Amino acid sequence: MHVTVFSKCLRIVHFNIPLVVTLSAVLGAKLHSNNPDIDDLSDPNRPTKLAERFSELHDNEWTNAFEILRKIPGSNVEETVKRLLQSAW
């Protein structure tokens, strides 16, 4: 009797494994396609990558402009920052 019950359980488990895998794949795809909060990690223009690129651009350009403006005779840090902000706006 125990062997019969065990073999039935084993057959059910083996039958269910592919179903569970398929269901998991379908639900995962559905979740991803209907949820804008899940990023596509292969997209080079996803929000986090864009933010990273703009941050690098800002850091590099600000530093370069600051160094150039600091070389003007008589300029100080406050004047340099003021010039940068005025030119940006």
**pLDDT, tens only, 29-67:** 776 666 766 667 788 888 888 899 888 887 888 888 888
Report d(CA 29, CA 32) in Å as an integer: 5
Enumerate the H helices of 34-88 as residue ranges.
47-70, 77-88
Place of tokens 């600091």: 70
Q: Both 5 and 18 in a single domain?
A: yes
Question: Could you tell me if 30 and 58 lie in one domain?
Answer: no
Q: Are 40 and 31 in contact (CB under 8 A)?
A: no
* pLDDT average, residue stretch 12-26: 82
- Is residue 47 within 8 Å of 39, Cβ to Cβ? yes
Q: Could you give the C-alpha distances from 33 to 25, 29, 30, 45, in angstroms and in order?
A: 12, 6, 5, 17
Q: pTM for the full model?
A: 0.41
Q: How many domains does the chain have?
A: 2
Both 10 and 20 in one domain: the answer is: yes
